[in-house]
Structures are given as C-alpha cells and as structure tokens.
Amino acid sequence: MATPCKWVTVLVMLLAMAFEVRPAFWPTLEVLQSVGSDLETLTAFETGVYKTTTTTVQKTHWAAPPETLLLVSPTTIGVYPIILFVPSALVQNTDYSQLLEHIASHGYIVVAPQTWPLIIPSQANEIEMAASVVNWIPNFLRYVLPEHVQGSKDLLAVSGHGRGGKTAFALALGVSKTKLTVQISALIGLDPIEGVNKLVRTKPYILKYIPNSFDLSIPTMVTGTGLGNHSKIPFGPSCTANGVNYEDYFNECRSGTLFVVADYGHFDLLNDKLSVAGLAASAGCVSGKGAKDLIRRTIGGLVVAYLDSSFLEKHSNYVNIITNPSLAPARLDPIETKTRTLGDGIRYYSEV
C-alpha cells in the first residue's frame, strides 16, 4: 500500500494532468486510495486484451495517404483514440512494430508514416510530411482500418522517437507551415533530440533554452534513456547528446511528466529483428545489456498508462506507476512531474 507521502505526490501529479485534460479530472484522496497499487491491477506493461492487425498502406492506395503508413490497430469493433507516431532518423517505421503492437493491444490506433524514404528529408520537410498525415486522418483513416473499427476524431495524440520526437513537438507547438485541421489532444516525445549537439541542430529550432517556454496546454509526456548520452568511443559523439536531448525538451515544458529508463540506450526500443536501416542507425548508439523486450514493454506501458489517464479517465495504471516505479519491467529513474497547479514549472519527484 502506498504511503501518505506517496499519495500526496500522486494527487499533485494527477491535478497537474487535470488542468490539461478535457473534461478535467479532479481526483480526491478517496479516489486515489480506491486504486490498488500492486501487480494485480497493473496491466499496462503486459499485452492488452485487444487482438491487433499491422498493415502497410502505400501512397498508391485509393485513400491516397500523403506518405506510406504503418497502421497498427485493434480488430475488435469499437472507436479508439489515435496516435500519430513519427520514427527517428534513418529508421523504418516497421522497426517499431513490436512497440506499436503493444500499445495498440490496449485499445489505440497507431498511424506511423514512413518519413525517411530513399531521399532523406530536411527536418522542415519531415514536419510538413507529418502535418499532411495529421490532416489526412479525419477524412480517410476509416477507409484503411478493419471493418467496424473507427478512430476518435476528438482524441489524437502526436508522438515520435528521436528526431521524430522533435517533429511531434513542432506539430503541437504549431511550427508547421501546413495548418492543422485537427486538434491535438496530447503530446508524447520518446527520447526527443534537437540535433547532433548544440552546435549542430536541425532547423527549425524548437528548443529556445528558456525554462518553461513551450506554449502547450495539452497533456505532455517525455521519456528519456539513461545510456542515450553515452558514447561508444572515448570523447566520441552520442546519439542523444546533452544540451539537445529529453532533459532540454522537458525543461522547456511548463507542465508534463518525464520518465527515464535508466539502463537502456536510444534505439533499444526497436524490434529484435531490424531492417538494414534500423541496424545501421542503431549500430552507432550505446545499447543496454538487458532484454529489449523490457524497454519496449516499459515504454509501451507508460504511453498506455498516460493516455488512459489523460483521455479515458482510467487512472489505475498511471497511479500504480507513479507510486511504485519499481513495478516497471525496466528500471526507471525517479519520475518527474511539472505542474501549473501552483505555478509554471514547479517540479515534483516520485520515490523509486
């Protein structure tokens, strides 16, 4: 059972989310105490109850997606929240299929555009590519989903990994030249990076290096990796260098939650079997020694728990994780939450 101190931390964290969610959730201590904090009620880290299907939708499909898509969705009749997922640099969208299938099995439709075709796009072009997919979703996604499966137009999260995480932030901040016709409901940056280092950043610049400067009013979750800023060779480059990584993105968020998977590297969440591009991209990054399934289940479970609490008012998994981070399959650093409840940028840390 969680200690009174932990429940105060939980209350503050959920109140912070409540200010960003419509309709707002105002938890009471009675509600929090009604949520069991044990493995029996923690389901986000395990495969969900929904069977899923994974398909590739080519640009030549009659529904004419602006980019080739990897589509992962439940097969059960229903209406599900939608997640746009933008891959990292040089990586194929299919290299994330195991992670995305975990998320979809909990009742989410994941749309992952292939933003790195044969011609490498600039960051600015990648942002416009992702924006065009966002605008395509409301009118055409239903034509490529399984029969009787629908996406919720009111619950759209934008997310991305690495450079794709920067693209997700750009969309949420309104940086794209393409005007979005859909309201973004949540933002998730998985180990986002601004560039190679502070001297080599891709344009447009997202980081301003001003604390709490991001003008975001939606639930925002950021993840990082403990080994991402490590180099394979002494004094060599790292995949997520200090000054351009998740810490800097979270520092500029006025509110949100940060989860750091301590013992893994930037590309460890990819599939066990990778494309040639995925192998090449991950070869230059430090990797953890643990099974990759553990970080995939951890990251996938965190996404599910956060969005379940933000979108669906299903708080059990989220409460369990922030009160007992040690329940995650992979070790987490203390969970950090920034809230607007008492003022922009006030930070709270969980116990581990």
Tokens representing 297 are 């289940």
Tell me the domains of the chain and their CATH numbers: 48-312 (3.40.50.1820)
Q: How far is CA 4 from CA 54, 322, 323, in A?
A: 43, 14, 10
CA angle 206, 212, 215 (to 5 degrees): 65
* Nearest alpha carbon to residue 3 among 40, 33, 41: 33
Label residue 106 by pLDDT band (50, 70, 90).
Answer: very high
**249-294: per-residue pLDDT in tens?**
999 999 999 999 999 999 999 999 999 999 999 999 999 999 999 9
pLDDT for 41: 59
pLDDT for 67: 95
User: What is the bridge-based pairing of β-strands 200-201 and 109-113?
Assistant: unpaired
Q: In whole angstroms, what is the distance from residue 55 CA to residue 110 CA?
A: 11
Q: Which residues are CB-contacts of 9 (< 8 A; sequence separation ≥ 6)?
A: 322, 323, 348, 349, 350, 351
Label residue 5 by pLDDT band (50, 70, 90).
Answer: low
Q: Is the dihedral of CA 300, 301, 304, 310 positive or negative?
A: negative
Task: Write down the residue that tokens 């931390």 correspond to.
Answer: 9
**DSSP symbol at 34:** T
If residue 320 lies in a helix (H) or strand (E), which one and from where to where?
Answer: helix 316-323
pLDDT, averaged across the chain: 89
What is the amino acid identity at position 116? W
Q: In whole angstroms, what is the distance from residue 148 CA to residue 222 CA?
A: 33
Under DSSP, is residue 234 helix (H, G, I), strand (E, B) or coil? coil
* Nearest alpha carbon to residue 188 among 54, 302, 323, 318: 302
